[in-house]
Amino acid sequence: MLGGSVPFSSLEAEYFKKHGEWQDITLLISLLDRTDAGTSLLAGLYDDDKLRLVAEAGHAIAKGRFAELCALTMPSRLLARIVELASDKEIGELDDSALFAMFGSDTDDVRNGILPRIVKALSKTKLKKLIAAYEEYDGSRYYAVFYWLDLGISLPRREILHAIEVSTSKRS
């Protein structure tokens, strides 16, 4: 035991990925707060392997409930990882309120994760409606949202896919 708590184990995340149920997701998210044996508290917050394992398990548990998963309270870095794992179909099924919540995230991770994905997954018609609604939005608005939505409306599909590929390769 480390400081009165059980250290993080990748086996827990793997177990939840295979056998977890919806009610286990909050417990799964709480695994991120646990440190690995021999690491500092700060190192645990930025452990990409742990983040990946928890995101994969959460996404696997939430099959068919992606929008609900995205609405749960979780660290922004985890939400960004979950968005990376989503299929275009799952991204396309998010309603405007879910998208606006991600657009208004307090971190760039979530915005940078969702924006290329929606440009790829949504039709130009849907993107036009989304940008019009975002122009009228009362909350915080970010340039990157306008940039990506406009890009999705303005460019041919082939060029959009190339821009997404270049953007995602720079972040990797």
pLDDT tens digits, one per residue of 2-42: 444 556 678 888 888 999 999 999 989 988 876 655 555 45
Band of pLDDT at residue 138, cut at 50, 70 and 90: confident
pLDDT value of position 5: 59
Band of pLDDT at residue 46, cut at 50, 70 and 90: low
Distant-in-sequence, close-in-space partners of 27: CB < 8 Å, separation ≥ 6: 16
C-alpha–C-alpha distance, residues 4 and 101, integer Å:
36
Band of pLDDT at residue 169, cut at 50, 70 and 90: confident
Higher-pLDDT residue of 40, 164: 164
Q: Is the dihedral of CA 51, 53, 115, 134 positive or negative?
A: negative
pLDDT value of position 33: 77
64-85: average pLDDT: 95
Residue-averaged pLDDT of the chain = 88
**145, pLDDT greater than 90:** yes
pLDDT value of position 94: 96
User: Are 124 and 155 in contact, with CB atoms under 8 Å apart?
Assistant: no
Band of pLDDT at residue 44, cut at 50, 70 and 90: very low
User: Are 21 and 61 in contact, with CB atoms under 8 Å apart?
Assistant: yes
pLDDT value of position 53: 93
**pLDDT tens digit sequence for 80-134:** 999 999 999 999 999 999 999 999 998 899 999 999 999 999 999 999 999 999 9
pLDDT value of position 139: 81
pLDDT value of position 12: 83
C-alpha–C-alpha distance, residues 153 and 147, integer Å:
10
User: Are 94 and 126 in contact, with CB atoms under 8 Å apart?
Assistant: no
Domain boundaries, the chain: 93-172
